[in-house]
């Protein structure tokens, strides 16, 4: 049974959606969890609610502000965390955004925005948490990618490219820093969260029809994989991508 007693964990983009679920799952397994959120009042309120929910369930958590796409903000976030808790034991790079457009019509700004959060954000957060983890001689990094990083999707070329980059980033970094720190990825299928809110109903219906499991995923379909990869139960896993995706990619 997975146990994270005495461990500290950082989950980016944890104020809602998959990140919220992972933060609660890690806390339930015993970790003290930093609930990261972007620097705006709405997300801060959401993060505070997640912290309250974790504490009400007997866990330990606190909010941690930081824009994963901004170097100065990430540096400040890492300094805040490490000054109080030392190096992180677990880092979950979950923060992400998705928009929809055919590539031939895609504004350059749309491409840049998705890359800034979904790929650059993984690099920046890992870059500045990693030295402490290496110095401590331990740690597990879990990157939340997507099944679209494996198979791609129409009108989601930018998102697919960013998530494919996360998967390759995971493999390359695992070769670089294992066994000191393990690095793995999760490639969920389409999950019922606010992140799907900007996608068309036609897209949703078509996706449900093609999924072997016949439905979109739920956050609780993803959380156990994250807790497993964070814990010592996955001690012989590194550079891997696990896919709770309803059979969408089957890689």
At 219, list the tokens: 């956050």
Please give the tally of structural domains in the chain.
1
How much is the average pLDDT of 96-110? 96
Residue 211's Cβ-side half-sphere holds a number of Cα atoms within 13 Å equal to 19
For 106, residues 6+ apart whose C-beta sits below 8 A from its C-beta are 157, 158
Residue 1: Cβ within 10 Å count: 5
Q: Is the dihedral of CA 236, 233, 245, 200 positive or negative?
A: negative
At 110, list the tokens: 């749309």
Residue 61's beta-bridge partner residues? Answer: 33
The distance from CA 34 to its chain's CA centroid, rounded to whole angstroms, is 13
Helices H, strands E: what count in the chain? 9, 7
Alpha-carbon distance 25 to 7, whole Å? 13
Is there a domain that residue 249 lies in?
A: no
Domain hosting 231: range is 8-240
Please say if 159 is a catalytic residue. yes
- Model confidence over 24-50: pLDDT tens digits? 999 999 999 999 999 999 999 999 999
* Cβ(35)–Cβ(14) below 8 Å: yes
Is there a domain that residue 177 lies in?
A: yes
* Cβ(166)–Cβ(143) below 8 Å: yes
For 37, residues 6+ apart whose C-beta sits below 8 A from its C-beta are 13, 14, 15, 43, 44, 46, 47, 63, 64, 65, 66
Out of 23-32, 56-65, 181-190, 205-214, pick the least confident.
Answer: 205-214
One DSSP character per residue, 8-43 reads: EEEETTTTSHHHHHHHHHHHHTT-EEEEEE-SSHHH
Q: pLDDT class for 199, splitting at 50, 70, 90?
A: low
CATH number at residue 69: 3.40.50.720
Residue for token pair 């912290």: 51
Q: What is the largest CA-CA distance in the chain?
A: 50
Annotated active-site residue in 111, 159, 169, 228: 159
pLDDT higher than threshold 70 for residue 198:
no
Is there a domain that residue 202 lies in?
A: yes
Is there a domain that residue 248 lies in?
A: no
Is there a domain that residue 73 lies in?
A: yes
Is there a domain that residue 148 lies in?
A: yes
Is there a domain that residue 246 lies in?
A: no
Q: pLDDT class for 205, splitting at 50, 70, 90?
A: confident
Is there a domain that residue 245 lies in?
A: no
At 126, list the tokens: 């890992």
Tell me the pTM.
Answer: 0.95
């Amino acid at each position: 049974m997975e146990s994270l007693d005495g461990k500290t964990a950082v989950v980016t983009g944890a104020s809602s959606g998959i990140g919220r679920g992972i933060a609660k799952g890690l806390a339930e397994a015993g970790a003290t969890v930093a609930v990261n959120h972007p620097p705006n009042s709405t997300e801060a309120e959401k993060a505070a609610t997640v912290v309250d929910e974790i504490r009400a369930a007997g866990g330990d958590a606190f909010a941690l502000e930081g824009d994963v796409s901004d170097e100065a903000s990430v540096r400040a976030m890492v300094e805040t965390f490490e000054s109080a808790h030392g190096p992180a034991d677990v880092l979950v790079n979950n923060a992400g955004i998705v928009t929809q457009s055919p590539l031939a019509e895609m504004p350059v700004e749309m491409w840049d925005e998705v890359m800034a959060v979904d790929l650059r954000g993984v690099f920046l957060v890992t870059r500045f948490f990693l030295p402490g983890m290496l110095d401590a001689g331990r740690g597990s990094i879990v990157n939340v990618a997507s099944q679209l990083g494996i198979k791609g999707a129409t009108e989601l070329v930018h998102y697919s490219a960013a998530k494919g980059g996360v998967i390759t980033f995971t493999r390359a970094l695992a070769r670089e820093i294992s066994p000191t720190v393990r690095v793995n990825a999760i490639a969920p299928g389409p999950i019922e969260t606010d992140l799907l809110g900007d996608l068309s109903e036609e897209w949703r219906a078509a996706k449900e029809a093609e999924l072997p499991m016949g439905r979109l995923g739920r956050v609780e379909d993803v959380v156990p994989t994250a807790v497993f990869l964070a814990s010592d139960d996955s001690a012989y896993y590194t550079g891997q991508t696990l896919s709770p995706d309803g059979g969408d990619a089957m890689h």
